[in-house]
A and B are shown apart, each in its own frame.
Chain A
Amino acid sequence: MLSRRMLALPIVGLIVGFLSVYFTQLTVPPFLGPYLSLAALAGVDAVCGGYRAGLEGKFADDIFLSGFAINTLIAAFLAYLGDRIGVDLFLAAVVLLGGRVFLNLSLIRRYYLTQRQLAARKEA
């Protein structure tokens, strides 16, 4: 099924992007490490959200692209700000983004399960 293969594309892209950087000598300065991790988490959240929205048919490209760009930056910036003013905003961002990733993934899972049920019912 073509569309199924299409739906696997983001995962392939993820792997391609990962490998293309993993086998270089690229790193960022150590003190930026935590912020980068947080930005990556925000990116995971954005992509999961986009994927879910796509599956639900509510995908809007402007929201998706701006969400990805701005959320990563804001997450990193908030964590940095928290470090500067002595409030652990890092944790707040991790909790919120982590929760959203879980939520999105569970919705994607539910969607597929529902699809399978529908397909089975159609066959029956």
Chain B
Amino acid sequence: MSVFTSPVRHRPWVTQVTFLSIILGALLALSLKTQDRIRRDQLPNMRISQLAAAYAELRDTNVEQMKKIADLQSRLTKYQKAAAQDNGNAELLSADLQKANLLAGMVAVTGPGVVVTLKDSSKAPAKPADMSQESYIELVRSYLIHDQDIQAVINELRAAGAEALAVNDQRVVSTTAVRCVGPSVLVNNVTTNGSPVRIQAIGDPVTLLNALNMKGGVAEQYNILDPSMIMVEKKNGLTLPAYAGAMPLRFAQPATDAKAQQAQQASEKAGANGPVPAEAEKGVIHQN
């Protein structure tokens, strides 16, 4: 076993071991890197079933996304084709889109109109001795601004031809709901000031003002309790913000031509034989 006496004899095995050591080093490095990657991807902490579930979920999402991509691409192609065929067509589309965005409240708008301020009255009477607690609460309720008040104003303004509306600087769009939640008002699911409530409307200022102030109208009902609860003023150069939320339509889809025609006919029929003159008049206003 005297290894060190004659080095030459032992050279072959050292060379071979060295050669395989290189391979072994490479193997170790590869293994280390792979394990590092696995650790980084957090794969080993999950059981196979979890992995399978996650994989299935991802695959489903993937399929969905692929469909979306295909859909978007086909639409893009359509638009591109239209653009290539006719530049005028594209311009028309763009103008249409601008108009639709304006109507839908997706862009900020500016123009003349009115500002309506509703606020809780401070003139609620003290509780009379002979009144029960419940009926007193009922009484006080009428001195406060509620969502019905706001909705009545919005409705009246719309009927009078308001083109854009905002409640407490939240744009009113087709999906907007105005609700009272406790002391505040929820508009577009944004919590805003409960009192005073500021409603801005863009439209013909005179028409809007008259619509609110007409006899038996929205403003008049406050005269009995406290006229200061509602304040209407004309204003030039109002600017309303764009609607900021998402507007996902999950259920509504464009109707097919046949169905659309049917619905159109029903709509025309309803307008033609309105039973009372007053009703018919409102119909005319809405159509405008």
Chain A interface residues toward B at CB < 8 A = 1-4, 6-7, 9-22, 26-28, 30, 32-33, 36-37, 39-40, 43-44, 46-47, 50-51, 53-57, 59, 61, 64-65, 68, 72, 115
Q: Is the CB of A47 within 8 A of B27?
A: no
Task: For B41, give its contact among A30, A57, A65, A68 (CB under 8 Å).
Answer: A30
The distance from the CB of B51 to the nearest CB of chain A, in whole angstroms, is 10
Q: Is the CB of A3 within 8 A of B4?
A: yes
- Bound-state CA distance A19–B16 (Å) is 19
Contacts of B32 in A (CB 8 A): 22
Contacts of A30 in B (CB 8 A): 34, 37-38, 41, 43
Secondary structure dominating the interface of B: helix
Q: Is the CB of A54 within 8 A of B34?
A: no
Tally chain B residues at the interface, Cβ within 8 Å. 34
Task: For A14, give its contact among B7, B25, B31, B35 (CB under 8 Å).
Answer: B25
Q: Mark B1-29, 1 if CB is under 8 A from A, else 0.
A: 10110010011111111111111111111
Instruction: With A40-B28, A43-B20, A57-B3 given, name 10 new contacts (CB 8 A).
Output: A6-B7, A12-B18, A17-B29, A18-B25, A18-B26, A27-B34, A28-B30, A47-B21, A54-B17, A61-B16
- Bound-state CA distance A49–B34 (Å) is 26
- Bound-state CA distance A36–B38 (Å) is 13
Q: Is B99 an interface residue (CB 8 A)?
A: no
Q: Is the CB of A13 within 8 A of B25?
A: yes
- Bound-state CA distance A1–B4 (Å) is 9
Task: For B24, give its contact among A7, A47, A55, A59 (CB under 8 Å).
Answer: A47
The distance from the CB of B31 to the nearest CB of chain A, in whole angstroms, is 4
Q: Is the CB of B29 within 8 A of A18?
A: yes
**Contacts known (A22-B33, A26-B30); A16 close to B22, Cβ less than 8 A:** yes
Q: Is the CB of B11 within 8 A of A115?
A: no
- Bound-state CA distance A68–B23 (Å) is 10
- Bound-state CA distance A30–B38 (Å) is 6
Of all chain B residues, which has the CB nearest A44? B24
Q: Is the CB of B21 within 8 A of A10?
A: yes
Q: Is the CB of A115 within 8 A of B20?
A: no
Task: For A2, give its contact among B7, B22, B29 (CB under 8 Å).
Answer: B7
Contacts of B21 in A (CB 8 A): 9-11, 13-14, 17, 47
Q: Is the CB of B22 within 8 A of A37?
A: no
Q: Is the CB of B23 within 8 A of A43?
A: yes
- Bound-state CA distance A1–B29 (Å) is 31
Of all chain A residues, which has the CB nearest B41? A30
Of all chain B residues, which has the CB nearest A23? B29
Q: Is the CB of B16 within 8 A of A50?
A: yes
- Bound-state CA distance A54–B30 (Å) is 27
From A14, A20, A30, residue with most partner B Cβ within 10 Å: A14
Contacts of B23 in A (CB 8 A): 17, 43, 68
Contacts of B22 in A (CB 8 A): 13-14, 16-17, 20
- Bound-state CA distance A54–B11 (Å) is 10
Q: Is the CB of B27 within 8 A of A40?
A: yes
Q: Is the CB of A32 within 8 A of B1?
A: no
- Bound-state CA distance A28–B28 (Å) is 12
**Contacts known (A17-B23, A18-B26, A39-B27); A56 close to B1, Cβ less than 8 A:** yes
The distance from the CB of B228 to the nearest CB of chain A, in whole angstroms, is 72
- Bound-state CA distance A50–B21 (Å) is 10
**Contacts known (A13-B19, A43-B24); A33 close to B35, Cβ less than 8 A:** yes
From B10, B11, B31, B41, residue with most partner A Cβ within 10 Å: B31
The distance from the CB of B45 to the nearest CB of chain A, in whole angstroms, is 13
Contacts of A33 in B (CB 8 A): 31, 34-35, 38
The distance from the CB of B36 to the nearest CB of chain A, in whole angstroms, is 8
Contacts of A7 in B (CB 8 A): 14
- Bound-state CA distance A14–B121 (Å) is 88
- Bound-state CA distance A14–B26 (Å) is 8
